[in-house]
Amino acid sequence: MIEIKGVAKLFKSGQKKIKAVDQVSLNVEKGEIFGVIGYSGAGKSTLIRMINQLERQTEGEIWIDGVPISRLSSRDLRVKRQKIGMIFQHFNLLWSRTVFDNIALPLEVANVPKSVRQERVHELIRLVGLEGKEQQYPSQLSGGQKQRVGIARALANQPTVLLCDEATSALDPKTTDSILELLKDINQKLGLTIILITHEMHVIQKICDRVAVMEEGRVVELGQVLQVFKEPKQQITKDFVKQITESSEALEAQAEWNIAEGKVVQCHFLVQTSGQPILSKLIRSCDVDVNVVQGKINKLKDSSYGTLFLHLTGSEAEINRAIQFLQEQQVEVEVLVG
């Protein structure tokens, strides 16, 4: 649905040249929620802004629904852009316009007749849960409500693609989750393709089907979110996954582990294995004592992923046998201590 082929962007500021995006090629499927994660300066904003040509690439091509958007004339681009919605970190609302009028703006620009416009705005207000706020101004709304206006406005012309540029970065964790739920709901109800950029793995974990990890303008890792969680390959990806699997409390607790004997292992297991009595089977099959030090389950978009820290004591041979047993049950095991 969206094909990004060998795209690069070179910025020139004075004598300096900055390659913000460097030979990125990606395909995003119709109806998918695709996340791009990276630290500040990785090139995420530049990449997403090239998808609707707010930024022109210096190399490569971008196709949306079979249309080479990167080659369109300004006039054709204006029309095509109506089918590509975008939301922003700081909402970009017009402060002098009410909620109703902010949402109506793209319909006015597209010359939609007033009666159709009114009906459509009411429909959008219901979709994003802002009933009763129609006549309020952005300054009277909470951050989450402002982003709901941003989402409604972005959906006004029934786009096929929604681009989200750090859409939850200015929001507190609870509001972030409610906006992510809304995006997931819209994706399912409208079959909308969503591309989002973020520096938070939590966002990727909650709603994305696939993720691309960006570093220094390049995509260094790409895959299904579950696969990337299970087997992060690059160090940067491992660090992002740790944002989720190792909370600061967990790290503090680890510092207090006083392991005089045995081994501490970190186990990663999927929801398919979590229904099985793996630990009791382990204790019955191997002559080891098992102490659960810490555990956590992360809910991904359509599945779950568990992390369990076990302290195993017994003879070296039996501990190794226990590790092998866990691996045979499709549990991934990493020895942390011992």
Could you list the residues that contact ligand ATP (CB under 6 A)?
Answer: 11, 13, 18, 20, 38, 40-46
Nearer to ligand ATP, 58 or 274 (CB): 58
- Residue 251's CB is within 10 A of a number of other CB atoms, namely 10
Return phi, psi of residue 124, to 5°. Answer: -70, -40
Nearest approach, Cβ of 13 to ligand ATP (angstroms)? 5
Strands (E) located in 65-160:
67-68, 84-88
- The two tokens of residue 16 are 């300096």
Nearer residue to ligand ATP within complex by CB, 197 or 288 = 197
**Between 46 and 145, CB nearer to ligand ATP:** 46
Cβ-proximal residues to 103 (8 Å cutoff; 6+ apart), any chain: 121, 124, 125, 149, 152, 153, 156
Shortest approach of ligand ATP to residue 165 CB, angstroms?
8
Residues 144 and 175 sit within 8 Å (Cβ to Cβ): yes
Q: Which is nearer to ligand ATP, 32 or 166 (CB)?
A: 166
> What minimum distance in Å lies between the beta carbon of 200 and ligand ATP?
11
Nearer to ligand ATP, 31 or 41 (CB): 41
User: How near is the Cβ of 217 to ligand ATP at its closest, in Å?
Assistant: 7
Minimum CB separation from ligand ATP for residue 78, in Å? 22
Please report how many Cα atoms fall inside a 13 Å half-sphere around the Cα of residue 62, on the Cβ side: 26
What φ, ψ does residue 190 adopt, rounded to 5°? -105, -5
From the centroid of its chain, how far is CA 242?
15
Count of beta carbons in the 10 Å neighbourhood of residue 234 = 13
